[in-house]
Amino acid sequence: MQANQEVAVLCRSVEKGFGVGDTRVRVLRGVDLEVRSGELLMLVGPSGCGKTTLISIIAGILDADEGECRVFGSDIKSLSTVQKTAFRARNIGFVFQAFNLIPALPIVENTAIPLLLSGMKRAAAIEQAAAMLERVGLGNRTKSLPAQLSGGQQQRVAIARALVTNPRLVVCDEPTSALDHENGLRVMELLRGMAAEEGTTLVVVTHDARIFGHADRIAKVNDGRIVEVVESVSNAA
């Protein structure tokens, strides 16, 4: 890391398990990870190795059982529920593997939800949401309901919703899993462009080898640990 490059995410000895007693499963087993401000870091590894759990802790959705996770210097675990919600609203966008769209709302309103929750006036929120949908290639579908879109289009709405507040950190769980090659590359180019133009930090969980070339670094996860972090995509494939 360059001497003047800040650390956006710092995880030290992070552990997480689910269940109790004999049924308890250790998912994270002492994760150490640094994510540089403004980079696109991909987390890769087999299903069930802890990738989604790790990004959920980074985003403040889950608490670590042990260890520390700091995001822009703040210890997420130490914040109250209200403080976590406010911190996420100010700093973090999350693209879920499930789209989590509200069926009864047009996609422009789905996209505007984070802005409305932050207190932005409705007209301004809708305008900003429409502009973001245009950036992900859905500018002509703003009034459509989620059910009127394909799975790939719904994924792009979910991505637009995560990006609409211009968050400092975007955490993505398989953002291209429902997209064809062309749209997958389009979404990654958008994410990549935000990292370059606006200094957004991106952490992307993926199995999609087609998009590895968009990463600055790739962290390999196995059995609840980061086993390797590589700068070169050719060394990570």
Angle at which helix 107-117 crosses helix 122-135, to 10 degrees, equals 120
Task: Check pLDDT > 90 for residue 129.
Answer: yes
pTM, two decimal places: 0.87
Task: Check pLDDT > 60 for residue 143.
Answer: yes
Question: pLDDT at position 118, please?
Answer: 87
Question: pLDDT at position 231, please?
Answer: 84
Question: pLDDT at position 187, please?
Answer: 79
| Residue 44's pLDDT band (cuts 50, 70, 90) | very high
The pLDDT tens digits for 61-77 are 999 999 999 999 999 88
What amino acid occupies position 165? T
Six token digits for residue 19: 């269940």
Question: pLDDT at position 98, please?
Answer: 80
- Does residue 183 lie within any of the structural domains? yes
Six token digits for residue 83: 């403080």
- Does residue 100 lie within any of the structural domains? yes
Q: Which residues contact 73 (CB under 8 A, 6 or more apart)?
A: none
- Does residue 1 lie within any of the structural domains? no
Q: Which residues constitute the domain of residue 155? A: 7-236
Question: pLDDT at position 232, please?
Answer: 53
Task: Check pLDDT > 50 for residue 237.
Answer: no
Question: pLDDT at position 30, please?
Answer: 95
Q: How far apart are CA 77 and CA 2, in angstroms?
A: 28
Q: How far apart are CA 175 and CA 159, in angstroms?
A: 7
- Does residue 2 lie within any of the structural domains? no
Q: How far apart are CA 130 and CA 142, in angstroms?
A: 7
The answer to whether 201 and 35 are in contact (CB under 8 A) is yes
Question: pLDDT at position 235, please?
Answer: 42
Give the strand pairing for 201-205 and 40-44: parallel
Q: How far apart are CA 189 and CA 93, in angstroms?
A: 17
Nearest Cα to Cα of residue 135 among 93, 85, 192 = 192
| Residue 5's pLDDT band (cuts 50, 70, 90) | low
**What CATH number is given to the structural domain containing 111?**
3.40.50.300
The pLDDT tens digits for 81-106 are 889 888 988 899 988 878 889 999 99
Helix (H), strand (E) counts: the chain: 7, 10
Question: pLDDT at position 34, please?
Answer: 96
Report the domain count for the chain: 1
Task: Check pLDDT > 50 for residue 159.
Answer: yes
The pLDDT tens digits for 175-200 are 888 778 887 887 788 788 777 777 89
Over residues 38-58, mean pLDDT: 94
The pLDDT tens digits for 192-235 are 877 777 789 999 999 888 889 889 999 999 999 999 999 855 44
Question: pLDDT at position 52, please?
Answer: 93
Length of the chain, please?
Answer: 237
